[in-house]
Structure 1
Amino acid sequence: MDEKQDRKQSAAMSFGEQAEAYLESRVHRTGNDLDQLVEWVGTADRALDVATGAGHTAGALLEADTDSVVATDIAPEMITTTKREFPDVAGVVCDAEQLPFASGSFDAVTCRIAAHHFPDPEAFLGEVARVLEPGGTFAFEDNVAPDSDTLDEFLNKIETIRDPTHVRSHRASDWFSWLTNVGFTIDDSRVVTKTLNFDEWVENVDTSVERQERLRAAFDDRPSDATETFEIVESDGDVVSFANLKLLVQATL
């Protein structure tokens, strides 16, 4: 098995074990970012939600009167959870980089807070472009790294310590370049911050005690400008919260 497939299998197993935690996760369940993605898609007829997790985006699309919603995820347990919570969503277990749909099958595609787990983001975007019909809308969100090399390294270090299935939080400029390379036009975009409770962030993926200790050591040894950039709040020497940077993009094929 090659390294990419090994990473994907590990991710599928890990996320399968955390399906219920993702269902209850405040970060994934609600937020202005979720509302914005749904608004960008508008009144789509046939929407695809890639790497749906526990199905929050897919469910929100149905609530917004999208006629038909298909949700995919590499973890079967995530699809089971999605179908249980949102029975009218169609669920498909598949790889985000190898979507099993005919070209032009959908008029809208969403993907929310998932792509940092994808080994080949360009392959993923190529598949999104393929399954969208001409004129279709892609509403995308993911964690992104600052332009500073030092802060980029710090962010990806703590994310990998917390969750070994993390591949990389890319920079916004990378996503813009990859999107245009596969034929998308960027209609709207923004980088927003979302405050994360440190303990909830750690517990969401059942981080081991050993990795929790490494995380705290990494925060203690953070670059001087990380405190301001990531809005790190501490109490008695412990990290209470920090802000994650998230890129939201509306793009048209």
Structure 2
Amino acid sequence: MVRLVIAEKGITDIEYKLVDLDHKQNLSPEYITINPKGQVPAFVVDGQSITESLDISMWLESHYSSPSLLPGETSARSRVMADLAELYEINFFAMLFGIPTQDRVAIERESKESIFRENIEEAERHMKEHPELREQYEKRLETYRAKTGRLVEPAYVQENWKKLGKLLDKFEESLHKGKFLSQENDYCLLDAHATAVLARLIKVDKENEIKTRPKLSEYWSRVQERDSFKKVYDRPTTMW
């Protein structure tokens, strides 16, 4: 999401540092110091860390004014911000990695819980070795424990799928009024964040969520042709 914003705004003075999630670099003392949540992305500026994709995007929008990725017209801007807020109310992790139906709980519980077990053990090991960072690691452990519980709650998973379906229906309606999600013909922050969501749906074989909505399907084809998409998705992605 953030990389799409950076590419669309043509920002060239930001230094990237890859955090290898497969090797748990997000739990390293160096990264936990930057972001106690142990999540990506994190944006460090003037000695401060911004740790949410939307907050980073808004900072970039305010400090790199041209080209603007927010509509100039007040009602359109309000609509974009409301849709972004709705997008961020959805727990995509639970949807994509959780147990979707009650009859699958007994079968999948162990595998789902094991997703976090190794990470919890790794965080606890680092915490013992670096007691000065105990507070930061405790924050990450709280997140892991909360997510583990939600993975095995099919009702919670289905609730979030319903939220996404409602939002995608709203996108479909907006795209009847303009080429992009602002209902206008200009690409905006909402497009950058929504594009990453659609890309993840494709990755987890949920393409039908896009194909069953004709305007959204056209839109997905269109955004893939943008230079920003080609630049950001130049290799297989493991995160968004």
More helix, by proportion: 2
Of the two structures, which has the highest relative contact order with CA contacts closer than 8 Å and spacing of 6 or more?
A: 2
* TM-score using structure 2 length: 0.27
More strand, by proportion: 1
Please tell me whether Structure 1 or Structure 2 has the larger radius of gyration of its CA atoms: 2
* TM-score using structure 1 length: 0.26
